[in-house]
Chains A and B, each alone.
Chain A
């Protein structure tokens, strides 16, 4: 493997070079390109050929913001070469997989991103990764729809679920960071303002504020929504509470009876005190 000094790059697919075999194995990647080091000029020459060879296959793995040079030398090793990547000019082709994978029944993909891995990334990296995942998801959706149209099975459907999960985890990580920042700067726990309100049925719930163009006292539809409980609802609330308590009591007695029966059948089994 030819180590090349490279800047990290995100892609939904893993690559490559390490596992290169004749076929192209695109696997969902969770790690970005590793940092290689160029040791000698011979290697650099060799590197160039390998890079050129892999270029066409790798363009797919470029992040959308591929204006960043992928292999920009970032360290103090003297023999590194600045390699320039092509700007991603493939517009609508990005809705489809690489042409080699058309017609395959199994396309390899790697593991989804975990929240732990995502927490180590910077905000810019997460932003880029979101778009990479978005494009991958669009690709998989078009593939699924076309497969349904042609009445053929979609190759490796687990990719959609992996991408979905990665996106959810990314969202949670970003939300965590935002809440932390907000708490430090303003002391607000929630991003969207809200209040505890009682609705017509007697339930108290967290009402989230919505943006309106006019104040509430001029909003007829808002005024029809009553945030108080009328007096005639009190008996119904009482009945509800009674029902709930009865159900709780029933559950408790059932639990006690089952435990006593088990104790009778198996007297020597130790029951943990919960």
Chain B
């Protein structure tokens, strides 16, 4: 039991991995949401972030998310989604955190001689063929002679 004064277990090479996730519901600006392994406690999360990441942690709240057992596969057997623990960590010292946009749209120029370039050229040709006659003002063949 983790209490002040009780002997604390020292782990030398922790085998616990935290996943920072984007919050599904709106969270206050200083709250960071993590998915943590089931064996971790609030004190463990606090120590982990403070020692390894040097992040000042104020409060930690955890809950266990039940993974659904409702879906069935092609053999009509129930398929269980794994359960996971979620930790809401509030940063100390008034720091705020917003989850960044990790997949921004980037202008990608396809490299020379690669499949992508050939595919893009092909797609462009196809689109060109699909377009209607510009001399007739882009109007369908139904009209006119």
Residues of A within 8 A of B (CB): 64, 88-89, 91-92, 94-97, 102-105, 127, 130-131, 134-135, 137-138, 141-147, 149-150, 152, 170-171, 174
Contact = CB atoms under 8 A, between A and B. Distances in A.
B13 A174 contact: yes
B125 to A, nearest CB: 24
A145 B36 CA distance: 13
B107 to A, nearest CB: 10
Interface residues of B, number: 26
B105 interface: yes
A38 to B, nearest CB: 32
B103 A138 contact: no
B66 interface: no
A158 to B, nearest CB: 18
A92 B55 contact: yes
B22 A92 contact: no
Interface string B93-122: 000010011111110100000000000000
Contacts of A102: 100-104
B19 A138 contact: yes
A64 B22 CA distance: 24
Indicate the member of A89, A127, A146, A152 with the most B CB atoms within 10 Å: A146
B54 A95 contact: no
Indicate the member of A141, A147, A152 with the most B CB atoms within 10 Å: A141
Nearest to A64: B52
Contacts of B19: 138, 141-142, 144-145
Contacts of A94: 53
A92 B97 contact: yes
Contacts of B43: none
A131 B22 CA distance: 24
Nearest to B53: A91
A145 B102 contact: no
Interface in B27-67: 32, 35, 49, 52-56
B103 A91 contact: no
A150 B102 CA distance: 9
